[in-house]
């Protein structure tokens, strides 16, 4: 738990520093001070509301025991096995098979699955996927992933805003520098995300295998998702690539998939899971 709070603190400090750097680039000392204040406020806002923003971004609809007993009861059984409070359950109307968890802590968590993953996977495989997401909740990864997804997008918007409105006369940045800042600031935010996110997936795979008691089911699910997700675009993820690292599998297609590679290689994940067969 301490390790995750340390990662969160590093993430928040890095975000504030990026905001300050962008502000200084476009508005000098005054711009830096304004951007630092904005970065601090954004951290506070993201801590409390970023999960709701991401769920709204994906048009997720809340499910319950009446509207979706299959998924809801599966999550409830797994949450009991994991000794976790029952999270809110959401369904996203997307053909691509994928899932994610969000929230600031286990008492305020949510798990979401696409309609595509519910159609494509067997009950056993889907159970492994939802156990993986609950492992993220149990490991307290969800605050880090949700905050970084939200604020990375804000840094990109700040850089674009700074190019359009930053500085006047001699204080206005050179156009080439401004364009570079627009490109490099979001990339720096992505680097912060990637530095934190990749190891979390291995941990959640192992935790999911332990919660479900069935590592082979999760391995099989990952193989299926990898095979199909590449060919089925998810438009919301393409518009907001900063959210890719929240998913169980990278949802981006084409060159974007490699550029924002926040997940370890699927074959490595599957190999580690199969090593756990008979041991959990």
Catalogue the active-site residues. 133
CA distance 253 to 231: 8
How many angstroms separate the CA atoms of 136 and 141, rounded?
5
Residues 237, 260 contacting (CB under 8 angstroms): no
Structure tokens at 209: 């295998």
Q: Which residue has the tokens 């299959």?
A: 70
Among 149, 130, 107, residue whose Cα is nearest residue 237: 149
Q: 88-92 and 109-114: which strand pairing?
A: parallel
Q: Measure the CA–CA gap between 273 and 208, rounded to whole angstroms.
A: 10
219 by DSSP, 3-state: which? helix
- What is the rounded CA–CA span in Å between residue 250 and residue 131? 18
How many Cβ atoms from other residues are within 10 Å of residue 2's Cβ?
A: 6
> Beta partners for 101?
111
Does 132 belong to an annotated binding site?
yes
Burial class (CB in 10 A: 0-12, 13-18, 19+), 203: middle
Contact 251, 239 (CB under 8 A): no
Feature table: binding site for Zn(2+): 132, 136, 201
């Amino acid at each position: 738990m301490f390790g995750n709070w340390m990662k969160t603190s590093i993430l928040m400090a890095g975000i504030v520093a990026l905001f300050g750097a962008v502000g200084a680039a476009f508005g000098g000392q005054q711009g830096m001070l304004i951007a630092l204040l904005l970065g601090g406020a954004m951290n506070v806002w993201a801590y409390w509301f970023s999960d709701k923003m991401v769920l709204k971004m994906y048009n997720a609809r809340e499910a319950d025991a009446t509207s979706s007993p299959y998924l809801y009861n599966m999550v409830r059984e797994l949450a009991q096995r994991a000794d976790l409070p029952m999270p809110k359950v959401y369904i996203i109307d997307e053909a691509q098979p994928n899932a994610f968890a969000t929230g600031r802590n286990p008492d305020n968590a949510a798990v979401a699955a696409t309609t595509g993953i519910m159609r494509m996977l067997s009950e056993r495989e889907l159970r492994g996927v939802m156990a993986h997401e609950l492992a993220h909740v149990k490991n307290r990864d969800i605050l880090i992933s949700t905050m970084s997804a939200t604020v990375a997008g804000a840094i990109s918007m700040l850089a674009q805003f700074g190019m359009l409105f930053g500085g006047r006369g001699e204080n206005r940045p050179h156009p080439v520098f401004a364009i570079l800042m627009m490109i490099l600031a979001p990339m720096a935010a992505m680097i912060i995300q990637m530095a934190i996110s990749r190891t979390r997936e291995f941990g959640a795979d192992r935790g999911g295998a332990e919660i479900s008691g069935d590592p082979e089911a999760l391995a099989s699910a990952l193989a299926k998702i990898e095979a199909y997700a590449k060919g089925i675009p998810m438009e919301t993820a393409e518009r907001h690539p900063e959210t890719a690292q929240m998913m169980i599998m990278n949802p981006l297609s084409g060159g974007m998939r490699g550029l924002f590679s926040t997940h370890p290689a699927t074959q490595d994940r599957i190999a580690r899971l199969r090593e756990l067969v008979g041991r959990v």
